[in-house]
Amino acid sequence: MAHTHSSESTPATPILASNSALSPVPHNERVFNWHNHASLWFSLGVGLLVMQVGAYLVPAVGSRDAAMAIVLGSLMGAGLLAWTARLGCQTGLSSAALMHATYGSAFARLPVLLNMAQLIGWTTFELVIMRDGTAAIGKQSFGLNLDSTQGHLLTTLLWGGVLMLLLSGSMTQLVRKLISRVALPLVIASLLWLTWQFGGQLQAQGFAAFWARPGDGSMSMLSAMDLVIAMPVSWLPLVADYARYGKSGRSAMSGTWVGYALANIWCYALGVLVVSVAQPGTDLVTALLLAQGGLLALSLILVDEIDNAYGDVYSGAVSGHSLKPAVSVRQWGLGLAVLCTGLALVLPMHSLEPFLLMLSSVFVPLYGVILGRLATTHTPVTTPNRQVDWSAAVLWLAGIGVYHALAQFAPQWGSALPTLVFTFGLAWLTRPANTLTLAGQSA
CATH number at residue 101: 1.10.4160.10
Number of domains in the chain: 1
- Residue 9 maps to a domain: no
- Residue 41 maps to a domain: yes
**Residues 412/222, Cβ–Cβ less than 8 Å:** yes
Q: What is the mean pLDDT of each run of 10 residues along the chain (443 residues)?
A: 34 52 91 94 90 82 91 94 95 93 92 93 89 84 78 91 91 88 89 92 88 84 85 90 94 97 95 86 82 84 86 95 93 96 83 65 93 75 69 95 91 86 94 54 36
Provide the domain limits for residue 32: 26-352
Q: Please report how the helices 221-233 and 249-277 are oriented relative to each other, as an axis angle in degrees rounded to 10.
A: 130
Assign 76 to helix, strand or coil.
helix
- Residue 132 maps to a domain: yes
> What confidence score (pLDDT) does residue 390 get?
92
Distance CA 265, CA 191 (A): 12
Of 154, 244, 237, 202, the residue nearest 58 (C-alpha): 202
* pTM exceeds 0.85 for this model: yes
> What confidence score (pLDDT) does residue 352 get?
57
- Residue 239 maps to a domain: yes
- Residue 400 maps to a domain: no
Distance CA 322, CA 318 (A): 6
Distance CA 403, CA 415 (A): 5
C-alpha distances in Å from residue 40, one per residue of 104, 165, 372, 386:
31, 19, 26, 35
- Residue 387 maps to a domain: no
C-alpha distances in Å from residue 126, one per residue of 113, 160, 343, 415:
20, 10, 11, 25
> What confidence score (pLDDT) does residue 10 get?
32
- Residue 16 maps to a domain: no
- Residue 287 maps to a domain: yes
Of 138, 149, 162, 145, the residue nearest 285 (C-alpha): 138
Distance CA 303, CA 159 (A): 9
